[in-house]
Amino acid sequence: MIFDSKIIYNKKISENFYHLKLKIKKNLVPLPGQFVNILIDDSCDIFLRRPFSIFNYENEKLEIVYKVIGKATKILSSKKKGETINFLGFLGNSYLDFISNNDNTSNDIILLGGGTGIASLNFLCQWLKNKKYKFTLLYGAKTKKEIFFLKNFKKFNTIFTTDDGSYGNKGFITHYLEKIVNNNSLIFACGPEPMLLTIKNLELKNKIYASFESYMGCGFGVCLSCVIKVKTDNNGFEYKRVCKEGPVFDLNSVILEKD
């Protein structure tokens, strides 16, 4: 589905991070883990759309949190209240595809968000909270400056870590995962590939689902750019589309670059 949505606000929240809020008029509701593919520029200078995970959705308002890292995100950050953003949505599968109804009787859902990966997990946290699931969030960032919406995340049962110890615990969230995990824990992760690899290498017996990033051409399954290797039964692999079969995959089924 193609959306043309008005910007409610697009504001800087910390050094390179922005918070974009859009008014959604269509009768469609996104699920945690899904993403949108935004048309950045009317000229062909930025030819492809750019995918962003959904930070939150409430009362027909869609929120995205993004980091300015290049030309496209710089242009996005210059857009003002009242301007219209064209995007494709709501794309991909959802974390919810892997949560069953009886999971809310246990208190063993663990979420790991590294860096900007926290954005898509926030939406999942909101959902879990609304449905009265119990969960623990592990939120890791490089420094205190890169932790955004601190107050928001303090509302949840959150363990913070920073690489330099400038806020919360010093070190990586994967270290804390080992401390709190038990046999029944259901784990969701979103973050850079080295983080996912570290989680994988812990060789936990738990079900672990991770949201992946990949270079996308279209975002709706036709260009076959964003594929990742997923194991098949016969010890082989097949390429699956992050935009279509994903972005959330069973972590242990994915063959990572440095595996």
Show contacts with another protein in window 79-98 (CB under 8 A).
88
Residue 223 touching another protein (CB under 8 A): yes
List the beta strands (DSSP E) in the chain.
2-14, 17-23, 35-38, 50-53, 56-58, 61-67, 84-91, 109-114, 135-141, 158-162, 169-170, 186-190, 207-211, 227-231, 237-241, 248-250, 254-255
List the one residue out of 71, 29, 74 whose CA is nearest residue 54: 29
Residue 13 touching another protein (CB under 8 A): no
Q: Which is nearer to another protein, 29 or 224 (CB)?
A: 224
Residue 256 touching another protein (CB under 8 A): no
Q: Is the link from the previous residue into 247 a cis peptide, with omega within 30 of 0?
A: yes
Contact with another protein (CB under 8 A) among 119, 124, 227, 248: 227
Residue 225 touching another protein (CB under 8 A): yes
State the minimum distance, in angstroms, from the CB of residue 224 to another protein: 5
Tokens standing for 205? 């017996």
Tokens standing for 211? 């949201």
State the minimum distance, in angstroms, from the CB of residue 111 to another protein: 27
**Residues 128-147: x/- map of binding to another protein (CB under 8 A)?**
--------------------
Q: Which is nearer to another protein, 4 or 164 (CB)?
A: 4
Residue 157 touching another protein (CB under 8 A): no
Q: Which is nearer to another protein, 87 or 95 (CB)?
A: 87
Residue 2 touching another protein (CB under 8 A): yes
How many residues touch another protein under the rule CB under 8 A: the total is 25
CA distance 52 to 34: 9
Residue 39 touching another protein (CB under 8 A): yes
Residue type, 104: N
CA distance 107 to 44: 49
Residue 194 touching another protein (CB under 8 A): no
- Interacting span for another protein (CB under 8 A) from 8-16, 43-51, 58-66, 198-206: 43-51
The per-residue DSSP string of 103-141 comes to GGGSS-EEEEEEGGGHHHHHHHHHHHHHTT--EEEEEEE
Q: How many CA atoms lie within 13 A of 154 on its CB side?
A: 7
Given the rule CB under 8 A, which residues bind another protein?
1-2, 39, 44-49, 88, 214-215, 217-218, 220-228, 238-239
